[in-house]
Amino acid sequence: MKKSIISCCVAMGLMSSFSANASTEHKKLLHNVEDKVIEWRRDFHQNPELGNREVRTAKIVAEHLKNLGMEVETGIAYTGVVGILKGAKSGPTVMLRADMDALPVTEQVDLPFKSIKTTNYRGVDVGIMHACGHDTHVAMLMGAAEVLAGMKDELHGDVMFVFQPAEEGAPMNEEGGAELMLKQGIFKRHQPDVAFGLHITSSLPTGSIGYRSGPFMASSDSFEITVHGEQTHGSIPWTGVDPISAAAQIVTGINHIVSRQIDITKEPAIVSFGKISGGVRNNIIPDKVAMVGTIRNFDMDNRQHIFEKINTTATHIAAASGAKASLDIHEGYPVTINNPELTAQMLPSLQKVAGIDKVNILPKITGAEDFSFYALEVPGLFVFLGGTPADKDPKKAASNHSPYFFADESSFKTGTAALTQLTLDYMEQAK
């Protein structure tokens, strides 16, 4: 299958050759689906489901794709749905992805479709809320599916719609998300040529699109260090081994890894501790201390180097104190990398949808996204969609994952249009 990676100038020329009839039909279908997208989103928002439990959401999605005449596969990675739209003409396969899961957050936004659902999450009763906007992603991709299905006779290729569970992470002791969907063979059964995805954000104004070529979002890994000492009375520390003192030195040592042992001119990195626990009272030196933290970086080679340095630092500092340290690193999401050639190729498509002045380069983001797994397999492009109303300051808007997170419904037409335009233009350029 031919993959077209060409210059922006040539791309713009090819896109301008897209038939006027197809362009008119595209706009008509986008207009017709706009209210449906809002309606779907409100329903999903009012009925959120946590990762690997998106049963209701998946059922609605699957029925919609089947009604559009697609080949539909369900139950992938627990609740994932994949729909295949066969174009009338030969060409590449374009993958479009939306994540479906909500978060254990109690909503504080006063909406007529506010979520009042609750659950017990890790022993705590909490609310469930689409505090990251995945409800909007599902609705926009359903809208894009309807638009593209309505243009089936114009499509030079196939479209692979991936509705993914558990982007926010799988429940304890379960696998999930993009990694599990790939593990269960979605790319073996349907190999796409490229993958496109978007994420709504309150940090950008409605109607705008943010992107970045190359490393865009950080890898996300967690670590746990257990320092083993020898318990003794606090008044006679020399008769035991103090793991608290060793742990304090380990924190200091690990905080020096990025500043002194990683080439940060290559890519930035972060190592942060989030919790330290050990001991029960003031005059007992405990036998162990546990520490947990997160690692973020933008280079896959640096990622492995940081892992090795944490292990060396922790074990050697502990040994110098007579203690022992054990390290467990839990690899999470790799770096989200936007393929540079694909990004340059598709930039005119984004500008066509939002306007040149509303498509801007974003700084690197230390948050993580498991779209990264797809982008390691095929050229990928992941962008951010502005979701804060024009009369509000994005800098003051509640961030994603906040109980006050709010997504402006007028942004959905831009997101739906972006997904469809990227698909149509990529296919047109690959002819």
Output the average pLDDT for the chain: 95
Asked about 409 being catalytic, the answer comes back as yes
Mean pLDDT for the stretch of residues 79-94 = 98
Q: What's the pLDDT band for 166 if we cut at 50, 70, 90?
A: very high
- 11, pLDDT greater than 70: no
In this prediction, residue 416 has a pLDDT band, given cuts at 50, 70 and 90, of very high
Greater confidence, 20 or 389?
389
pLDDT in tens, 118-165: 999 989 999 999 999 999 999 999 999 999 999 999 999 999 999 999
Confidence of residue 5 (pLDDT cuts 50, 70, 90): very low
With bands split at pLDDT 50, 70 and 90, how would you rate the model's confidence at 6? very low
Of residues 333, 374, 426, 428, which has the active-site annotation? 333
Task: Give this prediction's pTM.
Answer: 0.92
Residues 81-112, buried b or exposed e (16+ Cβ, 10 A)?
bbbbbebeeebbbbbbbbbbbbbbbbbebeee
Active-site annotation holder among 25, 224, 377, 409: 409
**How many other C-beta atoms lie within 10 A of the C-beta of residue 372?**
24
Ordered by start, the domain boundaries in the chain are 8-218+335-429, 219-333
| pLDDT at position 19 | 54
Residue 21 is predicted with a pLDDT of 66
Q: What are phi and psi of 312, to 5 degrees?
A: -60, -45
Q: In CATH, what class is 8-218+335-429? A: alpha beta
Helices then strands, each counted (H, E), the chain = 11, 18
pLDDT interval class at 308 (50, 70, 90): very high
Residue 13 has pLDDT above 50, yes or no: no
404 catalytic residue (yes or no): no
Instruction: Give CA separation, 237 vs 94, 244, 285, 301, 357, in Å.
Output: 64, 11, 7, 41, 65
Q: Is the CATH code 3.30.420.40 the one for domain 219-333?
A: no
**Residue-level pLDDT at 431:** 87
pLDDT band for 23, please (50, 70, 90 cuts): confident
